[in-house]
Structure 1
Amino acid sequence: MDKSRRLYYFDSHLRSFSAHIVSEQQRADGRFEVILSQSAFYPTSGGQPHDTGMLNDIPVVDVFVRDDEVIHVVEHSIPVGTSVVGEIDWQRRLDHMQHHCGQHILSAAFEQLFDLDTVGFHMSDDAVTVDIATPVLSEGDLARAEQLANHIIMENRPVSARFVQTSELSQFALRYPPKVTEDIRIVTIADFNDNACGGTHPKFTGEIGLLKVVQQEKVRNATRLTFVCGMRALRDYTERVRVTQALTSQLSTDWLDLPSVVKAQLAEKAELRRTTARLQTALATYRVETEVEAGMTDILEHHFIVARFVDCADVAECKALFQALQKAVSQLVEDATVVFVGQVKDRVYVQGESRGLVNMQQLVTTYLASVGGKGGGKPTSAQGSALISPDDDIRAHAARIREMIFAAMRT
């Protein structure tokens, strides 16, 4: 398509236009690809997503370039020769214009302030990012670049675009050479930046409204900045205010004091965790000592213990108690068989280890199968669980497993 038929090159604010269908082809997915006599729909290119909108009453869902033609993907057939009125989704177009021009300004700010190149640009419905060629970017330098960018926006400088020949490039302060050798389009932000670009841009920088960097991360040898402009910036700010107000209300503080309040609460939480861990360790030691004392006869005379623990918080606590039980029993008898029977809410959890007294895999799986549960492991160690009723007595489960061990010892 000749550049003169790509109306977006010459008027980014053109929202409606007339044309006719010059080509139509159905796709495998049932949609149709059409080529127009002229088009204001911007195709995906240069990091900027495509426009959407309508051709007559038919949605345009994708626009791209193939073989130098602008292809419009539509939901329904539009026969060749049909006259159409194209309607651009203006809010989407304006959002893309604001962020594309915002990227030009932010990149130019880093170039002019710190001589840093832009090595990447990405725009989507979810995020807009620019990659600055430095692995480290200080908070102060970022603030300076952001402030300069917003000064340029608020000064409402003219933004213009024109096609030039290669011989005319010396008239422009281009940091990056054009990627094409003909139909070179230069976008100029008055007295600030020249850039070879085919994207859509506002007529004045003031249309961008505001530029705010909201995230910074290191990507390889560059720094990736996520930023928002225009209505995205307003939505972002509105959401941040909503979250901030909710936090200040819950914490009964001013928003300026949130960092110090949260820091203090995190320190308090960390201390509580340490205290809880110490108390849990002490409680586990007491519970294990109690079970070892109760099972002392089995430990000393038969070299095994079946210990029972009720009201365990979770499987992690069961495993911690089992390890503590093993340690305590090993101090009395080496290579003793240790079986843990614990209650976790509505389940009985069984874990055991044996050095030859019994086949632990057979013991655990057989018992759990008898009460509707499942288990697995190997002859020396096994574990599993089963659902139990609220009135089930964990002591009864432990007693039955103890009887099974005695039976195995007699065979």
Structure 2
Amino acid sequence: MMTERLFFTHDHLIADVEVLECTPREQQFAVVLHSTPFHPQGGGQPFDTGWLGDSRVLKVVQEAEHIVHYVDQPLELGITQARVDAERRVLHTRLHSAGHLIGNAGENLGWMPIKAHHWPGEGKITFIPGESAHAIDAGALQQQVNQWINADLPRHMLLEGDTRAVGFGELPVYACGGTHVQTLGQVGQVKILSLSEKKGTLSVRYTLD
């Protein structure tokens, strides 16, 4: 049975969860839950950390159909409380949402996003030119992203089975399993750091002020 991803449908950082498995693994303990608010590493976003009961969640990864939580001490099977580290989650959420906006801004100029990396200090979106690609510069991207953030566009999500699409306002949606702000004003100040073209691709590096 696939682990239910609670972060697909809500932003709660505290939840009662059911521990299904807890097995020793490499001086830690691998925990499988029926459902989880913890985002695993993947989709360009780092994993959440936090707590399961009194156990510290050190790493969260997708392994086959399960999301596995690596903790520092064993847990009993049954119900416990999950608490996601709010400061870490908020930063990742802001970075991921900013990355979507850069992707949308690039598409407006005829460039197609093909890869995204939303890690702190390493934010980068990679594009390839579409048939109608226009000249692109950091200033134009910055102005468009700022405009959408200032408009505080609301998030909307479309769920179909195990897939989810995320967008803001009337902007095109992206299929995405990551976490996102509720409205774009929560992103804060995005800073476009650099643009570089190499072998037919365009890389846009960004950070948050």
TM-score by length of 2: 0.90
Shift of the alpha carbon at 1:71?
0.4
Q: Summarize deviations over 1:155-177 as a string: whole Å, max 9, x none.
A: 0111011213xxxxxxxxxxxxx
Matched, 1:152 2:148: yes
Match of 2:184 among 205, 213, 223: 205
CA displacement at 1:2 relative to structure 2: 4.4
Q: Could you say which residue in structure 2 is the equivalent of 1:121?
A: 116
Give the CA deviation at 1:131.
1.2
What is the aligned partner in structure 1 of residue 65 from structure 2? 68
For residues 384-405 of structure 1, give each alpha carbon's deviation from its aligned partner in whole angstroms, at most 9, with x where no partner exists: xxxxxxxxxxxxxxxxxxxxxx
Secondary structure at the counterpart of residue 35 of structure 2? coil
Q: Which residue of structure 2 lines up, in the alignment, with residue 130 of structure 1?
A: 125
Gaps of 5+ in 1: 165-181, 234-411
SS of the counterpart of 1:225?
A: strand
- Structure showing greater relative contact order (alpha-carbon pairs closer than 8 Å, 6 or more residues apart): 2
**Aligned position for 2:106:** 110
Q: Is the 8 A contact 1:160 1:187 kept in 2?
A: yes
Report the residue type matching 1:89 in the other structure: D
Which residue type is aligned with residue 106 of structure 1?
Answer: I
Q: Where does residue 215 of structure 1 map in the other structure?
A: 194
Whether 1:6 and 2:5 are equivalent positions in the alignment is yes
Map Cα deviations across residues 109-134 of structure 1 (whole Å, 9 max, x no partner).
Answer: 1111x110112211323311111225
Q: Return 5+ residue gaps in structure 2 as ranges.
A: none
Equivalences for residues 218-367 of structure 1 within 5 A: 218-229=197-208, 233=209
CA contact (8 A) 1:105 1:193 kept: no
1:185 aligns with 2:183: no
What is the Cα-based RMSD across aligned positions, in Å?
A: 2.0
Q: Which residue of 1 aligns with 2:91?
A: 95
Corresponding residue SS for 1:14: coil
Tell me the secondary structure at the aligned position of residue 76 of structure 1: coil
In 2, the alpha carbon distance for the partners of 1:119 and 1:85 equals 37
**Matched residues in 2 for 1:14 and 1:89: separation?**
11
Query: One-letter code of the match for 2:9?
Result: F
1:70 is aligned with what amino acid?
A: I
Matched to 1:57, the amino acid is D
Higher strand residue share? 2
Displacement of 1:223: 2.3
Distance 1:78 1:219 in 2: 49
Deviations 1:194-233 (A, max 9, x none): 111111111101110121112333343222221113xxx1
Distance, in Å, in 2 between the alignment partners of 1:124 and 1:99 is 7
Q: Calculate percent identity across the aligned residue pairs.
A: 24
Q: Report what 1:273 is aligned to.
A: none
Q: Runs ≥4 in structure 1, deviation > 4 angstroms?
A: none
Assess if the C-alpha contact under 8 Å between 2:137 and 2:195 holds in 1: no
Question: Partners of 1:197 and 1:25 in 2: how far apart?
Answer: 30
1:16 matched to 2:14? yes
User: How far apart in 1 are the matches of 2:69 and 2:122?
Assistant: 24
